[in-house]
């Protein structure tokens, strides 16, 4: 059926501040999370976790638990047989592989929270109660509770390996040797540290696994982030073909790099479902979440720079040490690798060498958390830059401006990671523009008059810092577009939704690329392994770059199919067909139009592949007031400016940036996983592990630019999910240092919580008095 087409209008959805489509169902209580799910004849799982940080398992007696009413089984390592280990997803050096985590403890336990047994019962309460009836005999061993003790190798966690240092990752640019430093007019070396903290998503983890004995197929509901990677891992562990493992993604209450990696429970729950032939559901409580979900950040660094007298950077070298916990999990080495590669940041430094040693301790294993390794690196580097500028009598802004990578330097090669042979380069950008815009938005010149002043009993300080954000990680992403019977378009993507708003931004991209109204994109189906042949997930700020450009590719192919089909009906050339407002329109003068529903069943697959990363960049500035009597810091103003290449949706981008800044402020001032000498987590609840609230940091402003698109993809997009958090620690620490400069306080460690900062102030006063 054909009709006359109205005047053509171009779509402009990309770049428009469209409110998130998914928010309506969330706000009206129609979101569906894994804990909302149930299945007929379902059992509930509870996990017995080690209360001992390091010990030898001498026996596990579960007979009393098995005898409890409503309990169907108790699974231990003995029931599994050969216990598989969790494979590494990122940065798997041969040395690191020796420290993979078994899915359940056998022989030894190495951290508090390590799974020892799984109880399956008719209800979650019955399963939890039965845990108390399991008798575990553990011979306690000496505990390795910190990096220093781990490096001594006096107490070995893996006796067969014989060391607590899995590997050292090195990145090099130029030749940062003694000659480069000894000949420099100025050099300074300092020691910095960043405390252990983590992502702490709003929604704890959960799984619902169902075994279909007839089809010999396992379905796992609750997957996210990297469902296809986890499908491959689980298939290997359960000795199944990949096609016999189905991962289903539902709504996710935040990921931030931690949710969706492969954890012990991702094997134990499906294994239990197959063993018992019944659906099994597990949802962790908050104590489990804080104890068992990947921790992050825990590092210290000896950092040294060499400069000319005018502040021009000559060389940078560092040795960092990261506490990665008791095992190397899927991406446990990624933060360490990032520290090695990006410690030099967005600055032009001819000679760089960074060595990062990974050490294991009797703590929860680590993984990625938004801006992994970059948050830590920026804190160390930006603190040292302010110290050096003060020594040299150079303005802090001028010191940075003089050393920023120039647009003429692009593409600019970053230090190469040697063992892993990872090379990367900044793709495009003018870093001066974002710095200048940040200073203008912040009113730097006006506020500089208040820097270091005591006003109303509080010390005031300001600071600025620059950063870059690597994103768009490959190797590829796949999507499918399909025309439905009502003329709407369904979009299937391999990217995962972890709360970042992909349903909205992907719909914008698809609508523009297809030249259809946005309401015609009726479904954006993401993550689950049913939708595309192979997906690669959402991590490292890759969804827009990889998934978005794959959508462009699929849209072009679908447009070609529609135009060819329409041309046959209208007896014209395919090049004469225009797709506009959900219709295929023929040439003048008739301009006959065919509704898209006439092409129902047409579909096209799209892909985008790239082995090069994109690099967003920017600058942040902070203004603080510090009460020296209490150590309390008030954040008066915070400004973040970033260039992300191409902005798909200013509203969602703004939310990403503001949320990331708040997370960074939480890490800078509040959040801290503290362990005692026995490896016991002392801050394992929200009564002790402090999180930021809406009232803590009310004044945060974000400005996004798209002046310098990436030359590496058709959209010109760059990753933008992590830039907001990366520079926060360094910027606020420098602002606090500027405020308390008259007292001689030079923060070298995070967090800057009131008690810790008060102690620094008292120590500085005591030192000053002694002098």
Q: Kindly state the percentage of the chain with pLDDT values over 90.
A: 95
Q: With CA atoms as reference, report the closest residue to 324 among 290, 349, 359, 294.
A: 359
Classify strands 299-307 and 313-323 as parallel, antiparallel or unpaired. Answer: antiparallel
Distance, CA of 320 to CA of 79 (rounded, Å): 41
Per-residue model confidence as pLDDT tens digits over 58-111 = 999 999 999 999 999 999 999 999 999 999 998 888 899 999 999 999 999 999
Residues whose CB falls within 8 Å of the CB of residue 132, separated by 6 or more in sequence, listed in order: none
Per-residue model confidence as pLDDT tens digits over 261-278 = 999 999 999 999 999 999
**Is the separation of the CB atoms in 651 and 18 below 8 Å?**
yes
Distance, CA of 163 to CA of 322 (rounded, Å): 15
Bridge partners, 355 (sequence order): 170, 319
DSSP secondary structure letter of residue 20: P
**Is the separation of the CB atoms in 33 and 252 below 8 Å?**
yes
User: Quick count: other Cβ atoms within 10 Å of Cβ 467?
Assistant: 32
Per-residue model confidence as pLDDT tens digits over 390-413 = 999 999 999 999 999 999 999 999
- DSSP-derived secondary structure for 690-728: ----TTTS--EEEEEE-SS--TTSTT-----SSTTTTTH
Q: In the predicted model, what is the mean pLDDT of residues 32-58?
A: 98
Name the helix (H) or strand (E) containing 466: strand 458-471
- DSSP-derived secondary structure for 254-282: --TTTTTS--THHHHHHHHHHHHTS-EEE
Which regions of 27-114 does DSSP assign to beta strands (E)?
A: 43-49, 55-61, 71-75, 108-109
Q: Where do the domains of the chain lie?
A: 8-31+473-609, 142-421
pLDDT over 50 at 8, yes or no = no
Tokens of 53: 């940080």
pLDDT over 90 at 367, yes or no = yes
pLDDT over 60 at 10, yes or no = no
CATH number of 142-421: 3.30.365.10
Q: With CA atoms as reference, report the closest residue to 363 among 324, 315, 395, 402.
A: 324
Class of domain 8-31+473-609: alpha beta
DSSP collapsed to 3 states, 525-566? EECCCCCCCCCCCCCCCCHHHHHHHHHHHHHHHHHHHHHHHH
Q: In the predicted model, what is the mean pLDDT of residues 17-28?
A: 95
Distance, CA of 326 to CA of 335 (rounded, Å): 16
591 phi/psi in degrees, rounded to 5: 45, 45
Q: With CA atoms as reference, report the closest residue to 382 among 448, 443, 468.
A: 468
Determine whether 70 is exposed, middle or buried from the number of CB atoms within 10 Å of its CB (0-12, 13-18, 19+): middle
254: left (phi > 0), else alpha (psi -120 to 50), else beta?
left
Distance, CA of 78 to CA of 114 (rounded, Å): 16
Break the chain down into helix, strand, coil percent, rounded to 5.
30, 25, 45
**Is the separation of the CB atoms in 49 and 134 below 8 Å?**
no
Distance, CA of 283 to CA of 288 (rounded, Å): 10
Rg (CA), the chain: 28
pLDDT of 6: 40
What's the full length of the chain, in residues?
771
Distance, CA of 110 to CA of 144 (rounded, Å): 9
Q: Is 444 helix (H, G, I), strand (E, B) or coil?
A: helix
pTM: 0.96
Q: With CA atoms as reference, report the closest residue to 99 among 16, 176, 160.
A: 160
Residues whose CB falls within 8 Å of the CB of residue 614, separated by 6 or more in sequence, listed in order: 427, 470, 471, 472, 545, 645, 710, 712, 713, 717, 718, 719
Cα separations in angstroms, 10 against 370, 448, 511: 37, 47, 11
pLDDT of 9: 45
Q: In the predicted model, what is the mean pLDDT of residues 703-725?
A: 97
Distance, CA of 417 to CA of 43 (rounded, Å): 47
**Is the separation of the CB atoms in 371 and 726 below 8 Å?**
yes
- DSSP-derived secondary structure for 485-535: TTS-EEEEESS--SSS-HHHHHHHHHHHHHT--GGGEEEEEES-TTTSS--
Q: With CA atoms as reference, report the closest residue to 385 among 354, 357, 417, 343.
A: 343
pLDDT of 91: 85
**pLDDT band per the 50, 70, 90 thresholds, residue 766:** confident
pLDDT of 610: 96
**pLDDT band per the 50, 70, 90 thresholds, residue 590:** confident
pLDDT of 93: 87
Asked which of 13-22, 203-212, 580-589, 611-620 is least confident by mean pLDDT, the reply is 580-589
* Domain 8-31+473-609 and domain 142-421 have a common topology: yes
pLDDT of 4: 42
Q: What is the mean pLDDT of the chain?
A: 96
Per-residue model confidence as pLDDT tens digits over 63-77 = 999 999 999 999 999
């Amino acid at each position: 059926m054909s009709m006359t087409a109205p005047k053509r209008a171009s779509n402009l959805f990309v770049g428009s501040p469209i409110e998130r489509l998914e928010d309506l169902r969330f706000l009206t209580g129609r979101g569906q999370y894994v804990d909302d799910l149930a299945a007929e004849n379902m059992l509930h799982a509870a996990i017995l976790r080690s209360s001992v940080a390091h010990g030898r398992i001498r026996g596990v007696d579960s007979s009393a638990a098995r005898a409890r009413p409503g309990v169907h089984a108790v699974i231990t390592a003995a029931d599994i047989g050969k216990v598989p280990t969790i494979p590494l997803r990122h940065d798997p050096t041969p040395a690191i592989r020796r420290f993979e985590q078994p899915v359940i403890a056998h022989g030894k336990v190495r951290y508090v929270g390590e799974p020892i047994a799984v109880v399956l019962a008719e209800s979650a309460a019955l399963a939890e109660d039965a845990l108390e009836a399991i008798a575990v005999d553990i011979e306690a061993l000496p505990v390795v509770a910190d990096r220093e003790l781990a490096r001594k190798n006096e107490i070995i966690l893996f006796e067969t390996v014989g060391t607590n240092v899995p590997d050292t990752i090195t990145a090099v640019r130029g030749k940062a040797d003694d000659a480069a430093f000894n000949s420099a007019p100025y050099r300074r070396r300092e020691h910095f540290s960043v405390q252990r903290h983590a992502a702490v998503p709003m929604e704890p983890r959960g799984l619902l696994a169902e075994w279909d004995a007839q089809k010999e197929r396992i379905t796992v509901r609750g997957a996210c982030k990297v469902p296809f990677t986890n499908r491959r891992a689980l298939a290997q562990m359960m000795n199944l073909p990949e096609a016999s493992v189905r991962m289903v993604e539902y709504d996710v209450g935040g990921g931030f790099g931690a949710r969706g990696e492969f954890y012990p429970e991702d094997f134990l729950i499906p294994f239990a479902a197959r063993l018992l032939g019944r659906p099994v559901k597990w949802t962790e409580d908050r104590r489990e979440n804080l104890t068992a979900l990947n921790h992050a950040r825990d590092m210290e660094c000896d950092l040294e720079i060499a400069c000319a007298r005018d502040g021009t950077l000559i060389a940078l070298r560092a040795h960092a040490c990261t506490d990665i916990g008791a095992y190397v999990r899927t991406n446990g080495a990624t933060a360490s690798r990032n520290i090695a590669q990006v410690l030099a940041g967005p600055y032009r430094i001819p000679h760089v060498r960074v060595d990062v040693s990974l050490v294991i301790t009797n703590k929860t294993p680590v993984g990625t958390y938004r801006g992994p390794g970059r948050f830590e690196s920026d804190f160390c580097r930006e603190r040292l830059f302010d110290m050096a500028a003060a020594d040299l009598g150079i303005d802090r802004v001028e010191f940075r401006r003089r050393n920023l990578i120039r647009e003429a330097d692009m593409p600019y090669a970053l230090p190469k990671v040697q063992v892993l042979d990872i090379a990367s380069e900044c793709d495009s950008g003018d870093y001066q523009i974002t710095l200048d815009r940040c200073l203008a938005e912040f009113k730097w010149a006006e506020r500089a008059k208040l820097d270091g002043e005591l006003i109303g009993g509080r010390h005031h300080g300001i600071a600025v810092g620059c950063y870059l954000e690597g994103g768009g990680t490959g190797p590829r992403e796949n999507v499918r577009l399909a025309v439905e019977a009502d003329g709407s378009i369904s979009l299937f993507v391999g990217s995962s939704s972890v709360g970042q708003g992909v349903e909205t931004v992907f719909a914008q991209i698809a609508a523009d690329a297809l030249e259809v109204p946005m309401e015609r994109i009726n479904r954006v189906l993401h993550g689950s392994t049913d939708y595309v042949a192979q997906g690669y997930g959402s991590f490292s700020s890759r969804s827009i770059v990889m998934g978005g450009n794959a959508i462009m590719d699929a849209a072009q192919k679908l447009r070609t199919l529609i135009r060819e089909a329409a041309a046959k009906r209208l007896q014209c050339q395919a090049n004469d067909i225009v797709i506009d407002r959900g219709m295929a329109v023929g040439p003048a003068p008739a301009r006959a139009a065919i509704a898209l529903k006439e092409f129902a069943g047409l579909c096209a697959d799209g892909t985008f592949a790239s082995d090069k990363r994109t690099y967003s960049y920017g600058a942040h500035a902070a203004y603080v007031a510090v009460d020296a009597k209490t150590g309390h810091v008030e954040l008066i103003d915070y400004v973040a400016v970033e260039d992300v290449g191409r902005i798909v949706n200013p509203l969602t981008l703004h939310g990403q940036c503001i949320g990331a800044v708040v997370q960074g402020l939480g890490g800078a001032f509040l959040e801290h996983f503290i362990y005692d000498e026995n490896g016991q987590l002392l801050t394992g609840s929200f009564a002790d592990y402090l999180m930021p609230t809406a009232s803590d940091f009310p004044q945060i402003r974000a400005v996004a630019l798209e002046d310098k698109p990436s030359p590496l993809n058709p959209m010109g997009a760059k990753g933008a999910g992590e830039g907001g958090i990366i520079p926060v620690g360094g910027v606020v620490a420098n602002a606090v240092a500027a405020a308390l400069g008259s007292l001689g306080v030079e923060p070298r460690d995070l967090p800057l919580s009131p008690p810790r900062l008060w102690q620094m102030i008292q120590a500085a006063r005591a030192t000053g008095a002694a002098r």
